[in-house]
Amino acid sequence: MQTVRGKSRRCVLLVVVSLILIIAVGSLLAVLALQFDPPQDGRSWDTSTPVPVADNLDWQAVGGDAGQTKYSPLAQITAANVGRLQVAWTYRTGEMERRGEAINWSKFEATPIIADNKLVLCTPFNRVAALDPATGEEFWVFDAEIDTSLKPINNLGCRGLARWVDTAASPDTPCAERLYMATNDRRLFALDAHTGARCEDFGENGEVIVIPLAETHDPLEVHINAAPAVVGDVVVVGSSIADNERSAAASGRVHAFDTRTGKLSWKFDPVPRSNGKTGAGNVWSSISADPDRDLVFLPTSSPSPDFFGGEREGDESLANSIVAVRASTGAVVWSFQTVHHDLWDYDIPAAPALFTLRRDGGEIPAMAFATKSAFLFVLDRETGKPLYPVIERSVPQTDVPGERTSPTQPFSTLPTLARQSFSAEEAFGIIGIDKMKCRSMLENIRNEGIFTPPSLGGSALVPSRAGGAEWGGVAIDPTSNRLIVNTNSFPIEIIKLIPREEYDRSPDWPAFSAPQTGARYAYESKQAFSQLGMPCTPPPWGLISAIDLDTGKLAWRKPLGTTSSQAPFGIALNWGTPNFGGPLMTAGGLVFIAATTDDRLRALRVDDGEEIWAVDLPASAQASPMTYAVGGRQYVVLAAGGHGMMGTKKGDYVIAYALPGPVKAN
């Protein structure tokens, strides 16, 4: 389950506190303004009329393709002209006005896809809109009519849809091209891509129930945010589970349905429950596929409950793993586990991206993926064997009665993607008392680096369960094999186990606690902040990195996000911010990314990570951008609507950017 807690907003608000102190000093304000808001570098942009580009409407999955590479061969927009991008069109979904208070517990994370030559997206409330990709004009709308009266545990969301073409049907047959959307209330819809009408031959009137309410604890325990994956004639669906409410959480089964009829083709359970004392292990994020090899790759999560595993009996070997499953049958082909007996909520948050590794004059079908624990792994996608060494290292052991810990954990030898340890001596603060408070907090807990087990006195979780890497995943340029990934490096999370009797005696535990009903311990979570509300960890708090996959070397790393939207006078301290949503890479030598809490869309140069363009958005964008070309022009499109758990600015915008000038198709 994705868990991003509301206190993350404090990271971006901490700047206000620090700047109040700066303003009190007076003269330091001007100094910092010069230091952190550098002058323009005098770059002159290419002002020539863009050369028309052939239509390219191939962004037909949320990651661009079945392999989730998030890469486009389009190159009309380049480092030389990106500074001239302007809004081409804006579409409002109407959800801000339509949903009322429910908008506050939603997250607009959708990446549009192209289907039937239309731009298609879903809102957090499972309302689907099909737009003209050149103008943003609305063609049709479908509403799944979910119940928004109940506040979900993990926020309402829909990250995208999947597309399928029935090659056995005439193109003008209704539902010859279909869209599949999984919903917050655990249904799967099949829609005609041309009209938005339900495909009546799919299930009951165009829908199937993926997970019946009877299999869940209550209507809020399980929902589905991620886009399904289509391989051949099956559509594969995971689920998102509130995995800390009870030990015996709902099953994390993955379901595959026939694309035409909606009949169940197969199901796969990552954590079979032999004793009814555990669940989850689910696939809450995206799924990648290799249609030529009849494979789907499932990124599984931790078993329930997250922070105490003493009641878990049975096999956990497919949890916290990439599991390669035969798409046609559901049979497991291979698996690779990234965390043994997970006690840290270190799910694999995104699907692996598929690419070809060049080595010793040969080519190896490969995959790369990043984890919440800030590791990057590269595997052979046919066998699951690591293509860069993975070493089992000894890790700290539990002192909690009834718990067990794995003696070792797998460590990738590729560059780590974010901070994995933090000592009390490194405590951050703008004044001495700030540092002293943080040091005192960290000196009194278990803090032995990554994989420090939860304890009764409190243990440091570094990275926090918000990552490291998150659901936006990685992007890969297949021509250069350069990988881009954004990560969080903020803050330390402190997990404290609470004996069952003690927890049950009191009704007044803070919001950041969970009962883990059925386990011997509940837990309390807090993030390490100073008296002034600043993280105890020093900046940067958000990062973006480039890795050369052919050599395994770090190419560059930069802070991601500034304080410009939160600080007085728009001062932009380059400290990085929490970030959720992923990157887009293009053949124009650019990385486009929003994701940050400073409400901006950025373009970075792939070669060195330099930010060469940024634009303020009308709302925060915790979504991944996509791109396509139509009418001779390349467009970059992004959903901007904010995130309930992060507390970022809400909206219901879909915005397309393009270069100005008269451009006609070739």
**pLDDT digit string, tens, across residues 546-555:** 999 999 999 9
Q: What is the pLDDT of residues 558-609, one digit of tens each?
A: 999 987 766 556 677 899 999 999 999 999 999 999 999 999 999 999 999 9
pLDDT number for residue 570: 67
More confident residue, 230 or 44: 230
Res 11 pLDDT > 80: no
Q: Has residue 1 been placed in a domain?
A: no
Q: Has residue 282 been placed in a domain?
A: yes
Rounded-to-5 percentages of helix, strand, coil across the chain: 10, 35, 55
Res 153 pLDDT > 80: no
Active-site residue set: 345
Q: Has residue 269 been placed in a domain?
A: yes
Q: Has residue 665 been placed in a domain?
A: no
pLDDT number for residue 147: 92
Tell me the C-alpha distance between 463 and 465, whole Å: 6
What are the angstrom distances between the C-alpha of 283 and each of 30, 109, 227, 301?
A: 49, 17, 11, 6
**DSSP states of 323-352:** EEEETTT--EEEEEESSSS-SS-----SPP
Res 293 pLDDT > 60: yes
How many domains does the chain divide into?
Answer: 1
Q: Has residue 165 been placed in a domain?
A: yes
Which of 293-297, 325-329, 507-511, 632-636 is predicted least confidently? 507-511
| Average pLDDT of every residue of the chain | 90
* 630-637 mean pLDDT: 97
Tell me the C-alpha distance between 79 and 93, whole Å: 31
Entry pTM: 0.93
Edge-to-edge order in the sheet of strand 633-640 = 86-92, 653-658, 633-640, 626-630
Res 247 pLDDT > 80: yes
Structural domain for 110, as ranges:
6-658
Res 613 pLDDT > 70: yes
Q: Has residue 663 been placed in a domain?
A: no
Q: Has residue 666 been placed in a domain?
A: no
User: pLDDT category, 650, cuts 50, 70, 90?
Assistant: very high
Q: What is the pLDDT of residues 209-239, one digit of tens each?
A: 999 999 888 888 999 999 999 999 999 999 9
Q: What is the pLDDT of residues 480-527, one digit of tens each?
A: 999 999 999 877 899 999 999 999 998 787 777 899 999 999 999 988
Q: Has residue 613 been placed in a domain?
A: yes
Burial class (CB in 10 A: 0-12, 13-18, 19+), 47: exposed
Q: What is the pLDDT of residues 366-422, one digit of tens each?
A: 999 999 999 999 999 999 999 999 999 999 999 999 999 999 999 999 999 999 999
Backbone CA torsion sign across 283, 281, 393, 516: positive
Strand partners, 165: 177
Res 632 pLDDT > 90: yes
DSSP three-state, residue 64: coil
CATH code assigned at 231: 2.140.10.10
280 Rama class: left (phi>0) / alpha (psi -120 to 50) / beta: left
